[in-house]
Amino acid sequence: MPNESKNTGVPHSGINIERAAEVTARLGEGPVWDVEDQALWWVDITAGVIHRHDPLGTDTSWQVGEDVGCLALRQHGGLVVATRSGFHLFDTETGIKTAIADPEEEKPESRFNDGTTDPRGRFWAGTMKDRGQRAPVSSFWRLNPNLKITRGHNGVSTTNGLAFSPDGATMYFADTAASVQTIWQADYDLETGEHTAPRHFFATDELPGRPDGGTVDADGCYWMAGIGGWQVVRITPDGEVDRVIEVPVERPSKPMFGGSQLETLYVTSISDGVTEGTADQQPLAGSLLAIEGHGAQGVPQTRFAG
């Protein structure tokens, strides 16, 4: 059950939460709703699996062969994925993975984690050290449509929370580490893909959970999965909590709007590492959740232009 830590905002009533797919992930993450495909794509990071959820049809999955942090659909077909060994193209027809680049080849203890595309189709993804002691040695990387890579904000422990405002002028990213648990924002140049120095947006010290994955709705509000806190939280552009949704899993990992009208809020979750003694209280841990009745609408996610 949700803990009783100090909270901010008002829980949102009229909510309906259901399990969307008959899959239990070890480390569910990276949901992307593709408007053209009308399906939700997501990953189980440590299982090395890509999932495709069709709300009206059959779900499908692919083995990647290594940890897979995030993905984006490509304009030219197939996927781009960010894995432990770097950026790759992934052919969903053949299951063949083609390497693009590994910007942190010298760090075998690190892997890619959260990611998203900007409104011009550039693919952003962040790394994290997941072997040995955590340290602020990770970076956010931009994969351009010409398949060249550029490093963005760095010195991060656990990269997360990548999202863009509806007009693309603001970029959001987070560090989930307990010593940081902060979301930043930066001005973003859609013409160049460059961002300004980050500025503080929101810290989760007063919330039960830390900032994991995020997305933005049509009103420009930022939705955060509060990992460890049994919550999904909506934050206004001014940095104020205005909506809290209690979820039946301790470790929600990333929200994403989907459905024909972008009014279903999908949330991935994690079954590994739940608090000892709580497993019986969260049989849906690791599930892909579908939340209705939250009163918001998402924005379309852009395909990778490469």
Question: Nearest-CA neighbor of 161 among 284, 295, 29?
Answer: 29
Question: Nearest-CA neighbor of 297 among 256, 245, 262, 267?
Answer: 262
| Residues 294, 15 contacting (CB under 8 angstroms) | yes
Considering the candidates 118, 175, 212, 217, report the single residue annotated as catalytic. Answer: 212
Give one DSSP letter per residue of 194-209, joined into a string. -B---EEEEE-TTSSS
Cα gap 19→40, rounded to integer Å? 14
Cα gap 257→240, rounded to integer Å? 21
Cα gap 277→280, rounded to integer Å? 7
**Radius of gyration for the alpha carbons in the chain, expressed in angstroms and rounded:** 17
212 labelled catalytic: yes
| Cα distances (angstroms) measured from residue 296 to each of 262, 284, 293, 305 | 9, 24, 8, 28
Instruction: List the end-to-end C-alpha distance of the chain, in Å, as a whole number.
Output: 43
| Residues 114, 163 contacting (CB under 8 angstroms) | no
| Cα distances (angstroms) measured from residue 105 to each of 69, 85, 86, 163, 192 | 16, 7, 8, 25, 26
Q: Which amino acid is at 152?
A: G
Find where tokens 């062969």 sit.
Answer: 65
Q: How many residues does the chain have?
A: 306
Residues recognised as catalytic: 212
